[in-house]
Amino acid sequence: MKIVVLTTETLHHAFFLKYLADAFPVAATFVETEHLRPPFETHHPFEVLMEEYEAQKWFGGNQPRLSDFAETSEFSSVNDAAAVATMADLNPDVVVVFGTGKLRPAIISTCPEGMINLHGGDPERHRGLDTHLWTVYHNDFSGLITTLHRVNEALDDGDIILQSSLELYPNMGIHMIRSVNTEACLKMTMSALDMYKRFGSFITRKQLAKGRYYSFIPAELKEICKRKFEKYTRML
């Protein structure tokens, strides 16, 4: 089984790739270098704490790169012609997408049956960006779910393979939520790859609803999310 990963250069993606590559042969990793930038401030101080927490939890305070764990190639977008051509040459069985921009038909067509995406949310409730934070903002704590689904041309719309509720615990800080989500993503991906290895395909179900699309969450709303989330976890 030949596996390719499409992702971006972040600490939590490095954790994901490290342990995925330990368990399965990752033939290549495509790193998308250009990102959408909102026209308003999105940074909140808890994100600095989040980076420090993840570095300490996973890597003893170090800051590894994706290339430490697998062969990587950089593209401004994974939709670039060069990325599409490279993918076609690789001819993978499975492509795991974690944190890139929306995929276009050309790249999807290189692995139409085996391209799967990790969506940090429940696409039947929330699609798009920052979906866990938007879920908290709307007090929908039962909606703190992460999803592995097939990729099609519509955003976060493909058939669902697996879902996992995020494990929250008393006094958990909001800076910890990304690490919990990443660990859930890793477990789901490994289970799905085992499924593919056994059956030669993914067992899926259709989405029953189309969640609302969300874009970047502004910094001032992240402060509201922080207060809501930490109030909720104090009561667990």
Q: What is the DSSP string of 179-201?
A: HHHHHHHHHHHHHHHHHHHHHSS
Instruction: Please report the pLDDT score of residue 164 as a whole number.
Output: 98
Categorize the per-residue pLDDT at 200 as very low, low, confident or very high, splitting at 50, 70 and 90.
Answer: very high
Say if CB 189 and CB 19 are below 8 A apart. no
Give the predicted TM-score (pTM) of the model. 0.96
Q: For the chain, how many structural domains are there in total?
A: 1
Q: Which domain holds residue 69?
A: 3-234
CATH number at residue 165: 3.40.50.170
Q: What is the mean pLDDT of residues 24-49?
A: 96
Instruction: Please report the pLDDT score of residue 103 as a whole number.
Output: 97
- Report which of 52, 56, 104, 98 is spatially closest to residue 83, judged by C-alpha positions: 104
Instruction: Please report the pLDDT score of residue 212 as a whole number.
Output: 95
Instruction: Please report the pLDDT score of residue 26 as a whole number.
Output: 97
Q: What is the mean pLDDT of residues 120-139?
A: 96
Categorize the per-residue pLDDT at 180 as very low, low, confident or very high, splitting at 50, 70 and 90.
Answer: very high
- The conformation of residue 140, written as its DSSP 8-state character, comes to -
Instruction: Please report the pLDDT score of residue 136 as a whole number.
Output: 98
- Show the tokens assigned to 4: 């390719």
Q: Is 25 exposed, middle or buried (0-12, 13-18, 19+ CB in 10 A)?
A: exposed
Question: Torsion over CA of 197, 150, 163 and 76, rounded to 10 degrees?
Answer: 100
Categorize the per-residue pLDDT at 223 as very low, low, confident or very high, splitting at 50, 70 and 90.
Answer: very high
Sheet with 72-75: list strands edge to edge.
72-75, 26-32, 3-7, 94-98, 115-119, 145-150, 160-165
- The conformation of residue 130, written as its DSSP 8-state character, comes to S
Q: Is 232 exposed, middle or buried (0-12, 13-18, 19+ CB in 10 A)?
A: middle
Q: What is the pLDDT of residues 62-92, one digit of tens each?
A: 999 999 999 999 999 999 999 999 999 999 9
Q: Is 208 exposed, middle or buried (0-12, 13-18, 19+ CB in 10 A)?
A: exposed
Widest CA span of the chain, in angstroms?
53
Q: What is the mean pLDDT of residues 10-27?
A: 97
Instruction: Please report the pLDDT score of residue 170 as a whole number.
Output: 97
Categorize the per-residue pLDDT at 206 as very low, low, confident or very high, splitting at 50, 70 and 90.
Answer: very high
